[in-house]
Amino acid sequence: MFVLGTAGHVDHGKSSLVKALTNIDPDRLPEEKARAMTVDLGFADLTLPSGRHVSIIDVPGHERFIKNMLSGVGSIDLALLIIAADESVMPQTTEHLSILDTLKVTNAIVVITKADLADDEMLLIVREDISDTLQGTSLEGSPILNVSSTTLEGLEELKIQIDKNLDMSGERSGFKSPRLPIDRCFSITGFGTIVTGTLIDGPFRVSQEVEIANTGVKGRIRGLQSHSESVDQSDPGVRLAVNVSGLSTENINRGDVLTIPGWLNTTKIIDVELSISKMSPQSLKHNQGITFHAFTSESNARVRILDNTLLNPGDTGWCQILLENPLPILKGDSFIIRSSEYTLGGGEILDPAPRKRHKRFDDSVIDRFMTIHLGSPKELILDTLRDNGAMSLEEISTKVNSTLPDCEHELAKMLETEEIIICETSNRSGRNQITEGTIFASDTWNNLKSQSIAMLSDYHATYPLRPGIPNQEFRNRIKLAAHSIESIFLRLSLENILRNQNGFLSLPEFNPTLQNEALEEATRYLEALNLAPFSPPTELAINTEIQSLLLSEGKIIKIAEGLFFHTDAYIKMKDQISNYLSQHETITVAEARTLFDSSRKYILPVLEYFDDHKFTRRDGDVRRLIKS
């Protein structure tokens, strides 16, 4: 199925031509019927002589409804530029041509309508006027046909020409995740919510779970219709009506995108290649306010020109657009920008979600734009990985707007040539590294290793008595995503970059040691604990890091907050309790206090510690030995 869109000045006969071709009146609104003028999108379908089915989007021509026209031209395979024989090229002819040219639409037919109202000489003048107007645009050289919707002259020739043009349309590549930019939303009694649009990128099927992109508002497809025919599944490239359960019309607006859950995010900052139309009546200044249009969505925005101070008509530049409202768009999508009165230009999305605002006139930024725009799939993936760090296959695929199989195939080749590395959560055999692992560009991974070594070396020098840096602090400093940290730590450990033990990271060769004054302080502390081994002093002052090291080395035991025992004393108490219980079966706090010539202040926390560590079990006022 192909999509054909009309374009042209108001009252040049676009809707009449569609009706003559299809016997379907695309004007559906009462206002349109009353005024005999299209103000919103209209739809029809046509069967060509070849048997090929075509969806037709009829767009309004009046300047006040230009944004509705923009909603219809975002995903067409063939454009019909309609020009009336009795008026020739008019202002909206030029405006619509400018939009088609900016979107780089090359597959087009120019249709001179109302041919019955002009003689041969007039038709020749109109044809010459059209040729002059098309010169230098993407539509230059397009076939020009004369038709009359009244006498039906030229309609069969037009159908044949449409078939010829569609023969030149490229086949749609492998399917991605489906997107339906919504142009209409309404409800029907007994059916519920209906949304319509032109399906792009991937298929929809009945019973599939769907959501309005990035809102969390989910529903399920109850039914699909393409031109009044019910279907179980629809491939991309067709006009589609979707009956969705679980969604209210109150949750949906034109410009929203219906898709499968969990992958398509909205964005407010985008990197673009922007071309100013040769037909634009004005230049574009840096930081100028504009209206941004992509498919059926629009937003007020500002344009930051990164490689120039001004873009004149005919100029192309690298820009970053700051959107007022977040929109769901992807790399490779086309867009149009307008001032309050004119179409200024448009271009292609290079990066739908850059991580930051770029500096102007920065060579590294411009080089990256060139790679994204002109680079091979491998170069694009590498650039994406270098800019984003750790990524999953799904994240890479979405970022570069590639199908999962194509992206996986490219990554497999890059893994063989060691241009990427993959961190896995385990070494279990039979796993698909690419689909399940965390992926890095090899040079980014090498930088991460160097950064890790430098950070750990600095941390050990600053805190020589600590066992290492806490895992969470390491992650925060390196700015690693939480979902990938386990696999990253595992690979760093396997490559002997660090040791991951008890929640701390350290260099493999590092061992905290007590030296000089620290050693003397630790020795004094241990001796003080041993002076009264079963009633150790609790007011002893000691450097907390020395105390932590003694704990990690097993030289002292923390029984309770502020209560530490020398490990030798703890072992003796445990042995004596064990022997006592072997002979007497139970022990009370008072009996334990007498056994160690200590006080309740020390004995009760020790017995509770034994309970907590499953050495003893409290039974009323006594403790019993837990036997394995």
- CATH at 209: 2.40.30.10
Pair (90, 37) in one structural domain: yes
Q: Which residue has the tokens 């450097």?
A: 543
**Residue 181 and residue 200: Cα distance in Å, rounded?**
8
**Residue 511 and residue 498: Cα distance in Å, rounded?**
12
The one-letter code for the residue type at 395 is: E
Residue 140 has pLDDT above 50, yes or no: yes
**CB of 110 closer than 8 Å to CB of 154:** no
Mean pLDDT of 37-57: 72
Residue that is last in its domain, among 333, 366, 399: 366
Question: pTM score, two decimals?
Answer: 0.74
* First-to-final CA distance of the chain: 73
Mean pLDDT (the chain) is 88
DSSP-assigned letter for residue 357: P
Pair (422, 385) in one structural domain: yes
Share of the chain residues as helix, strand and coil, in percent rounded to the nearest 5: 35, 30, 35
**Residue 502 and residue 116: Cα distance in Å, rounded?**
88
Pair (202, 338) in one structural domain: no
Percent of the chain with pLDDT over 90: 59
State which residues form the domain around 621: 532-625
Pair (402, 467) in one structural domain: yes
Residue 353 in tokens: 């979600």
Pair (409, 460) in one structural domain: yes
Q: What integer pLDDT is reported at residue 34 of this predicted model? A: 45
**Is 522 within the bounds of a domain?**
no
**Is 7 within the bounds of a domain?**
yes
**Is 220 within the bounds of a domain?**
yes
Pair (240, 98) in one structural domain: no
> Phi and psi (nearest 5°) for 193?
-80, 135
Q: What integer pLDDT is reported at residue 165 of this predicted model? A: 93
Pair (30, 160) in one structural domain: yes
**Is 517 within the bounds of a domain?**
no
**CB of 266 closer than 8 Å to CB of 236:** no
**Is 579 within the bounds of a domain?**
yes
Pair (202, 278) in one structural domain: no
Mean pLDDT of 534-562: 88
Q: What integer pLDDT is reported at residue 190 of this predicted model? A: 84
Pair (146, 8) in one structural domain: yes
Pair (537, 574) in one structural domain: yes
Question: By C-alpha distance, which of 84, 131, 141 is closest to 108?
Answer: 141
Q: What integer pLDDT is reported at residue 275 of this predicted model? A: 94
Residue 169 has pLDDT above 80, yes or no: no
DSSP-assigned letter for residue 190: T
Q: Residue 125: give its domain's CATH number.
A: 3.40.50.300
| Extended strands (E) in 442-575 | 469-470, 499-501, 504-506, 556-560, 563-566
Helix (H, G, I), strand (E, B), or coil: what is residue 424?
coil
Residue 176 has pLDDT above 80, yes or no: yes
The contacts of residue 55 (CB under 8 Å, 6+ apart) are: 1, 2, 3, 4, 43, 44, 45, 198, 226, 227, 238, 239
**Is 527 within the bounds of a domain?**
no
Residue 463 has pLDDT above 50, yes or no: yes
Greater pLDDT, 501 or 174: 501
Pair (251, 278) in one structural domain: no
The contacts of residue 289 (CB under 8 Å, 6+ apart) are: 300, 301, 302
Report how many domains make up the chain. Answer: 5
> Phi and psi (nearest 5°) for 367?
-60, -40
Q: How confident is the model at residue 349 (pLDDT cuts 50, 70, 90)?
A: very high
**Is 526 within the bounds of a domain?**
no
Q: How confident is the model at residue 23 (pLDDT cuts 50, 70, 90)?
A: confident
Residue 331 in tokens: 């790399």
**Is 173 within the bounds of a domain?**
no
Q: How confident is the model at residue 31 (pLDDT cuts 50, 70, 90)?
A: very low
Pair (465, 386) in one structural domain: yes
Q: Residue 459: give its domain's CATH number.
A: 1.10.10.10
Residue 451 has pLDDT above 60, yes or no: yes
Residue that is last in its domain, among 167, 187, 206: 167
Residue 523 in tokens: 């020795």
Rg over alpha carbons for the chain, rounded to the nearest Å, is 36
Using CA atoms, how far residue 316 sits from 104, 282, 348, 351, 599, in Å, is 13, 14, 11, 17, 85
Residue that is last in its domain, among 454, 481, 512: 512
Q: What integer pLDDT is reported at residue 103 of this predicted model? A: 82
Query: For residue range 96-134, what is the model confidence (pLDDT) as tens digits?
Result: 898 888 888 899 999 999 999 999 999 999 999 999 999
Helix (H, G, I), strand (E, B), or coil: what is residue 107?
coil
